[in-house]
Amino acid sequence: MTQDHHHDPIDWREHGVKVIPGNSLDPNTAQTPGMDRATAINHARAGAEKIWAGTVTIHANAKTGAHHHGDLESIIYVVKGKARMRWGDHLEFTAEAGPGDFIYVPPYVPHQEINASRDETLECVVVRSGQEPVVVNLDIEPVEKPEDVRWIDPIHR
């Protein structure tokens, strides 16, 4: 590497691309019965400054209450199963997503996540635009009452 007079050379081996094998995700995050969560990318594991990524496995029929995530953006990629999203001031809008689909949740959008299957696990990858666990629970009567297991990912602690 060349060195200029203003900056020390960057050790790209140490500060370059990181591959996090799927079998080495960190389960040392808050867990909830009926769900399995694991962190892949955060500051501690990969040096990430602005994003968080991990996996969420949600048991059949899990649902959240109504909430939003402040100014954070979220992306959910469905690996297996069927996700149903409800959103709006009264959770009046709905959409479903299956394997291979991406779900984008903009900042401040009131929403509810639902495993739309009564008997199949929902497996997702979640990416967020920040590492703070921002969740604002809303006093909205959910269209689909949370029952059985609540869907609580790493940001819903």
What pLDDT tens digit does each residue of the chain (157 aa) get?
A: 555 556 789 888 887 888 887 778 877 665 545 556 788 888 888 889 999 998 888 888 888 778 888 999 999 999 999 999 999 999 999 999 999 999 999 999 999 888 999 999 999 999 999 987 777 888 887 667 655 555 555 555 4
Q: Which of 50, 63, 28, 65 is nearest to 127 (CA)?
A: 50
CATH superfamily of 35-137: Jelly Rolls (2.60.120.10)
Q: Model pTM? A: 0.79
Give the gyration radius of the chain's Cα atoms.
Answer: 18
